[in-house]
Chains A and B, each alone.
Chain A
Amino acid sequence: MRQPRDTLKNPEHELRIFRLRSLLAVVIVLALSGLLAGRLFYLQVVQHEKYSTRSEKNRVRVEPLPPTRGLIYDRNGELLAENRPTYNLTLVRERVDDLDQTLALLVDLLDLPADQVEAFRERSRQRQRPYQPALLMSDLDEAQIARLAVNRHRLPGVEVEAQLLRYYPDAEAMSHVLGYVGRINTEELQRVDGGNYAGTHFIGKTGVERFYEDTLHGQAGLRKVETNARGRVLRELGHTDPVPGENLTLTLDKGLQHLAVDLLDGRRGAIVAIAPQTGEILAMASVPGFDTNQFVTGIDVSSYRALQQDIDLPLFNRAIRGSYPAGSTIKPFMAITGLRNGEITPDEVVYDPGYYQLPNDSRRYRNWLRWGHGRVDLERALEVSNNTYFYSLAHELGIDRIHDSLTQFGFGTRVAADVYGQSTGLLPSRDWKRARFDQPWYPGETLSVGIGQGYLQITPLQLASATATLANRGHWVKPRLVHETGDEPMLLELPDTPPDVELEHSEWWEDVISGMEQVLSGNEGTARRAGAGLEYRMAGKSGTAQVFSLGQDQRYNADELKERLRDHALFMAFAPVEDPQIAVSVIIENAGGGSSHAAAPARAMTDYWMLERDHGELPPEAAADEDGEADGAEGEA
């Protein structure tokens, strides 16, 4: 017999139910508590003996075994990053009979000043637990190790411990591309798998060391050890070996990299060299560099501040992060853009009176040669680096088509597959300008972009990569730094490779490249001095990037400008023309004109790669073989 819903609740009845149920709950709560108490009784009274023994004698502890970091080699197997054993002096307080006497003896043996005793005493207290070794001194030299070894019987509790430390034999030349490892900080610890890094003290901070951290690090192992009641290891019960990190073979050529650094000769700048057919980055130098080994052991504050505040920005990787106006090096790519879009043909002629004027605009956009080059076709426009020709072309193309086509060459994008920290540079567009300045795009700005000035900013890596694509007649191979991981070669066709740049008349590639060849070999070529005596066919283009903008009728006078306001010198080149083996970009900050300052280093790079490399080291018969291989390579292409 139930009452109708919601009309009559029965509080008395509800209260009764609740009290009955909560009484039941109390019974269950007591039963469960009894169960817990029973379990505790079982563990703490019945089984106490067993657990007590286990706790007292059978202390098992798991210790992580850090893996050995993979080594890094250049393409010829030269070691670029190794793990050098260093020796540390440690002391286990528990095992020392007379601390004063031991410390005095140590200072004496190691030839240290007497006040070092107090420093040692301080460090020996670092560890809370007396059975743990405290680090007294790191990086002992051989003589010190020998003296300690001879006196070992007099020094109970004193140990020389070996620890592997990263070492870069070519720290300065390789500083940016290789990067470095440093002590892990808390932020990084959150990023990685804590278990795998439990015994690891170092992690890749920049460059290859950072990008390939997972590959280089390896898999940590475990050691199960038995310790006594005070925690000291008695014996090892078993272990899982760590899996060492994989070795990397880079595409870099140590000789070429050193040459690049030498060519920059202490000037601020960058040189990047790529093998066009394989995308292999052969050299990637940014000068000035710094000693990465300092960062491994932990750089002291004043040295770090000095590096940071250096006006030449040694910590800055110009090759991948430096954004520069392209200057005239953009012209070959503009030429391709014009040909693709049907705005020009190779034979079309533009008359250059020394300046260009937009319709209905009085402003004169000047050629660098004040009186003009007269009649110029595509080839000559590239050879003499005519501005008027490219102003006219840029105006006909408009910024939208220029943006699309230059994107296909990789400008404005991160071009390389495995380079950490690349900048995109800046490839301007209408949308970008709207978003950035809330302004429309003006036609005059298109003209600036047409000769590589204005908003356009490129990185040396982008310029080298675009040059490689041009050398490949539009075929894209993504630039990469790693040749082999362990024994696994890197794929030639990487995912995310941009589509090839295509021309309707593929022979037009040769017209553009021929113009670039004239830059070095033609009578009027801007870099004909650098091209003198070439033993192979080389194509290139100089560029001069304005740091300091001029009013429309001002003339540029290098002497009047302060060094930092002088133009950047640029050069891009590849060789040989018929079977490209190397593409190079050179950028030297504030050096002046590109043809006179950047062309010669580019030539030196291609000369080395085409003529000099390995020749000195190979025995005569092998050298003959190599010539044969070079011929064979031509056939392959």
Chain B
Amino acid sequence: MAKFAKKKDGDLPAVSTASLPDIVFMLLFFFMTVTVMKDSSIMVENVLPNASEVKKLEKKDRVIYIFAGKPTREYQGTYGTETRIQLNDKFASVNEVGSYILMERAKKPQELQNVLTTALKVDKNANMGLISDIKSELRKVNALKVNYTTYEGNAFNNLQ
């Protein structure tokens, strides 16, 4: 039976790597779709407090961010060490918050304008005075849904 030629031993068949690009492309597309590019660099210290009863902020397109905290070291020379508000890429004063919210709201599509959430990313060493000022500004422009963004963890760690 010469049809079944005996394989020479010690001679492994080569594994085809032709599908390797396909696999890599698959992974590539996955990471491409889940990637979110950072759109603003944070210019304030932003160590968020911990909380355990958190809810996830679904859908990033419905969120407006407000940062607050002490300016980081490179900005301390020009802006001092008092807690400041950062909107988009620049420092702002409290009375600019309202117009910023209105501006951001106007950028969103019509059907989302009523379901927007304002995420407050505030450093845990900030004073409540500033937060209250921000909150009263938000109330003025009727942006009532807020989310105090926190890390998930034990809330009592904030007290140290």
Are the chains A and B members of one assembly?
no
Name B's A-contacting residues (CB within 8 A): none
Question: Which residues from chain A sit less than 8 Å from chain B, CB to CB?
Answer: none
